[in-house]
Structure 1
Amino acid sequence: MTDFAVPVNTVGMPAVARVLSIAGTDPTGGAGIQADLKSIAANGGYGMAVVTALVAQNTQGVRSVHTPPVAFLREQLQAVSDDVQIDAVKIGMLGDRDVIGVVSAWLERVRPPVVVLDPVMVATSGDRLLSTEAEHALRDLLPQAGLVTPNVPELAVLSGAGEAGDFDEVVRQALEVSQRWGVRVLAKGGHLAGEVVSDALVDAHGPVAVQRLDSVRITTKATHGTGCSLSSAVATWQAATGEWFTSIERSKRWLTESLRHGEALAVGRGHGPVSHFAGLWARGGLETGFTGEWWARIASLRRATGADPFLAGLADGSLDRSAFTAYLAQDAQYLDGYATVLFRLAQLAGEPDERAFWSAAAAACLTAESALHRTWLDGHVAELDPVTGDYLAHLDQAVAAGYEQGVAAVLPCYWMYAEVGVRLAPAAAGNPYREWIDTYAAPLFVQSAEQARVITDRVAARASLVVREQMGQAFERSAHLEREFFAASLRVGLPA
């Protein structure tokens, strides 16, 4: 069972993980080495590849397989390891006993610090892909891996049992494999039915035998290469974190997001690939977090908000003053209610730093931000617009449902305003609405928005799967109401 020490560069910081994939090809790019390289890059590593087989396949199935001479496989492996320090290895398709033997001998010689084995043994059709001799050779390879990632049919082959019908049986088989071969097993429940997908890190020889991780099932046809992608991501994160469960949790979070956006790629007529870089394209960064996933979900809504005529007029200074005053009149009432919700969150918070943050945030609503409104409104009070009323009612309902939903519901106001403020700030010179822009582009407000996001991620990590989904729904509802709040400003008049 391979263990790990985190590599460092010359200045003492963790180095970019150099991850080698040993696997077959997929000319459509969704599985095999092509998927491995994308997954490694999407999760922050540098990908390398040694080809075990050339596979003629697409999203509808495998047509043929060509296995190069094992002598050439041996040369590829030696060429990489003679020159490059390898931080992690992901092993995929190994077509026969001779191929497995070459890889095993190379692992014994090089001893890479992280080895993740995705045992490609059973086709989607249910057909066995390896001969009996090759299956035995693959089992003998297990002790050289730090983690093995079989799906339900493959786990059944490794354990010598029938295919599991529920997750308890999956874990039982994984424990048997872990005990017998001294390897950690990522027990995957993706083949089982149900709205929740359960996975578990199983280590019969570790301090904790079973660590379970649940996620929401994404209903999609874009599932081609999910096993390849997940195992490569885990290898990459393990080289960075040194913690198997943390690496699996981060990889699963990334894969869930990639599954959610896979169909948008429109690749192939069968089961298409996941969108490996969906998060990177949406956010320009690796860290998803729970809030990052929610933020990616509202990408189109954020684009629509940024193009709203109210904000467009605000950006170039052409917005009619009465429309801006009408907006501020509603926003003043919103901020009173928002401050009350923040005070309620402070009362519900269990962590001292969270309590202090929400208390300070509530006070800021009633001082710094409200001062801007008083300057412009000059004592005018408007009737509550239906959109403002709906937004405040949503916040009240969210915090009444619990601290978790409450923090998720207040986050879009922070995050979307900070995004707008930072976007408009560079061109704010001479703008009659510069004071408003500067308020939300100010470093203190941007930092507060980031702290609210960090707290929400922390709360989501502590929450159950059901509550976490409710948090995401509360976040998305608030984001939609923010969009409507801006749009309403051009149709709401200030009372005479």
Structure 2
Amino acid sequence: MTASSYSSVYPLDATASGRPTPRILSIAGSDPSGGAGIQADLKSIAAFGGYGMAAITALTAQNTREVSAVHVPPAHFLRQQLEAISADITIDAVKIGMLGDAAVINEVRGWLEEVSPAVVVLDPVMVATSGDRLLRESAEKALRSLLPLAHLITPNLPELAMLLGEPEATDWASALDQGKRLAAEYGNTVLVKGGHLPGSECPDALVNTSGLLSQDVIEVAGPRVATRNSHGTGCSLSSALATVQARTGDWEVSLREVKPWLLGALQASDSLHVGQGNGPVNHFHHFQQASTPGTFAAAMWNEAVPELEAIYGLPFIQGLQSGELPERDFNYYLAQDAIYLNGYSRVLARAGALAPTEEEQLFWAKASQQCLEVESELHRNWLSTREASTATGPVTKSYVDHLLAKSAAGSYAVVLAAILPCYWLYAEVGQQLHTAYVDAGAPADHAYADWLKAYADEDFAAATRKAINFTAVAAVAASGTERTAMMDAFTQSCRYETAFFDAPRLFAQASFTRAQ
């Protein structure tokens, strides 16, 4: 019995149905050099699969070296832009950048109060990377009046200090303290960014003191990239966060998805060769990788095949196929599977909570429920009259810990990649076992006949196809760094699947050794 060169459960040329595209509005100034402002926002939104829109607050004359002039059109015209968009298009998230003067800020505030977007990210653009001031001093008070309407505020350290009327923080602890006080004052979440601090590390932290996050401060570490091409970094980060948040609804998950992308954008910035000063980041660095669901599904299958080959060679699988597997081994496997399913159901529920569409939410919620009600009941019925160890085995613990770790820290796409092998490999093995059983004449005295029939259940095969589709579509919207994390999570879970099937043999060996 060997793994086929293509998946028998999932046709790799199948077309996955797309998910709704988040509609993101950027309210910001224009940068004719293309590195910052609405130009950077629209690139970031597109990089994360969003549909970008823009209402222009100001026109600038700038390049990678300086801002030489700023023109602020009449504020009432900005209001006309905003009303034209919201009267026709559902807006899933708003990113606010450069506002220019008090009149513009007041128009934006009035529109926000009327429309109440579900996600508002405010990047309080006050000073450019070049050091040029982009907000008139007379408008600072008006800007503070806008802060309570934002769900996330993303100042750099000079801007954070200006909003508090304090000197700029010179170390990470002081920056976090300022972030806490700003968050407490306005009741929202503040992203404290370490980009202006010295050192080889560049941490970011979500800060909220009102209980909206899992803890008051959530730090996400990251290395500093040695490049002067950081023009528009703040614009790009805030608009990317708005786009991902519209999909995930979780600021921590959103930041952990966006930060690796921005790291890659900075690392690849030197390849653009734009300008003689602070050049732009490379927003589309990740598009060099797979960009279609079918391609990514095929790549995952290639990673799974070696594990399937290893699984088919295990004594447990060969004994299950022939019916000669010792019952004690099967009992141990089922007892461990019952423990595993309890943890797995929690991860499925987490996927449902992160899912961007109602279809996906319902699918993962139903899968979580079935783990506890249907699958676990099958295990309990078999084990009710048989003896088996109820202690959690080392493989079971390691596998569940791996899934829970990805569930806690990973994006929706990474969580799906970690979940998927339990569907895909299990379905493939089950179908192969059932086929071999039928080819052998379906002997009635086969000790595990009922289980082999259950393994080939078409409903489970259909669910597996859906799980693969959802994962493959999520990969298309993911950054290159995130797709790497997806493949890593998928590969690790595949290895745990192999180890899980081999665990009864190892347990029997350990028991025999102890008995000597």
| TM-score interval, normalised by the smaller of the two chains | 0.5 to 0.7
CA distance change for structure 1 residues 95 and 450 in 2, over 3 Å: closer, same or farther?
Answer: closer
Q: Alpha-carbon deviation of 1:211? A: 0.6
Per the alignment, do residues 457 and 243 of structure 1 end up closer, same or farther by CA in structure 2, a change over 3 Å counting? farther
Instruction: Determine if the alignment matches structure 1 residue 36 to structure 2 residue 25.
Output: no
* Amino acid of the structure 2 residue aligned with 1:249: R
**Contact 1:187–1:201 (8 Å) recurs in 2:** yes
Q: TM-score, normalised by structure 2?
A: 0.55
Distance 1:18 1:154, change over 3 A: same
Write the distance in 2 (CA, Å) between the matches of 1:279 and 1:80: 30
2-structure distance, mates of 1:158, 1:185: 12
Deviations 1:440-465 (A, max 9, x none): xxxxxxxxx99973256889xxxxxx
1:173 to 150, 174, 178: 178
| Counterpart pick for 2:189 among 178, 184, 207 | 184
CA deviation after TM superposition for structure 1 residue 125, in Å? 4.6
Answer whether contact 2:123 2:238 (CA < 8 A) is retained: yes
Aligned to 1:159: 164
Q: CA deviation at 1:130?
A: 2.6
2:274 to 264, 267, 271: 267
The alignment status of 1:249 with 2:256, answered yes or no, reads yes
Letter in 2 for 1:146: H
Equivalent positions of 1:471-490 (< 5 A) are none
* Deviations 1:275-307 (CA, angstroms, capped at 9, x unpaired): 101101333369xx9xx9xxxxxxxxxxxxxxx
Change (3 A) 1:135 1:222: same
The one-letter code sitting in structure 2 at the alignment partner of 1:454 is A
Which residue of structure 1 lines up, in the alignment, with residue 83 of structure 2? 78
Percent identity between matched residues is 52
Contact 1:279–1:285 (CA<8 Å) still a contact in 2?
no
**CA distance in 1: counterparts of 2:162 and 2:488, whole angstroms:** 44
Q: Return the alpha-carbon distance in structure 2 between the equivalents of residues 349 and 274 of structure 1.
A: 43
Q: Per the alignment, do residues 452 and 93 of structure 1 end up closer, same or farther by CA in structure 2, a change over 3 Å counting?
A: closer
Q: What SS does structure 1 have at the residue aligned with 2:61? A: strand
Q: Distance in 2 between matches of 1:54 and 1:451?
A: 40
Number of the residue aligned with 2:225: 218
Match of 1:231 in 2: 238
Task: Give the match for residue 265 of structure 2.
Answer: 258
Q: Paired residue for 2:69? A: 64
* Equivalent in the alignment of 1:134: 139
Q: Give the 3-state SS of the residue equivalent to 1:212 in structure 2.
A: strand
Which residue identity lines up with residue 49 of structure 1 in the other structure? Answer: A
Instruction: Show CA shifts across 1:350-393 (max 9, x none).
Output: 523779x9xxx9xxxxxxxxxxxxxxxxxxxxxxxxxxxxxxxx
* Structure 1 residue matching 2:206: 3-state secondary structure: strand
CA RMSD of aligned residues (A): 3.5
Aligned residue in 1 for 2:4: none
Distance 2:486 2:76 in 1: 55
| Secondary structure in structure 1 of the residue aligned to 2:222 | strand
Give the Cα separation in 2 of the matches to 1:201 and 1:256: 17
- Residue number in structure 2 paired with 1:281: 288
Deviation readout 1:235-272 (Å, 9 max, x if unpaired):
00000000011111111111111111111011111111
Q: Secondary structure at the residue paired with 1:237?
A: helix
2:398 is aligned to 351
Checking the alignment, whether the CA contact within 8 Å between 1:223 and 1:271 is kept in structure 2 is: yes
SS at match of 2:488: helix
Q: Is the 8 A contact 1:159 1:174 kept in 2?
A: no
Contact 1:28 1:58 in 2 (8 A): yes
Give 3-state SS (helix, strand or coil) of 2:221's partner: strand
- Please, what TM-score do these two structures have when normalized by structure 1? 0.57
- Mapped partners of 1:17, 1:451: distance in 2: 21
Match of 1:193 in 2: 198
The 2-side partners of 1:458 and 1:194 are apart by 36
Runs (5+) with no aligned partner, structure 1 = 1-11, 293-334, 340-345, 362-448, 460-496
Offset of residue 220 of structure 1: 1.2
Counterpart code for 1:453: D
Q: Match of 1:97?
A: 102
Unaligned runs of 5+ in 2: 1-16, 300-309, 315-392, 404-420, 426-483, 495-516
Per the TM alignment, residue 221 of structure 1 is displaced from its structure 2 partner at its CA by 1.9
Determine helix, strand or coil for the equivalent of 1:268.
coil
**Quick one: distance in 1 between partners of 2:176 and 2:80?**
38
Q: Any idea what SS the aligned residue of 1:22 has?
A: strand
Paired amino acid for 1:242: G
* Residues 272 and 350 of structure 1, relative CA distance in 2, 3 Å threshold: farther
CA contact (8 A) 1:190 1:198 kept: yes
**Taking CA–CA contacts closer than 8 Å with sequence separation of 6 or more, which of the two structures ends up with the larger relative contact order?**
2
Q: Deviation per CA, 1:300-339: give whole Å up to 9, x if none.
A: xxxxxxxxxxxxxxxxxxxxxxxxxxxxxxxxxxx9xxx9
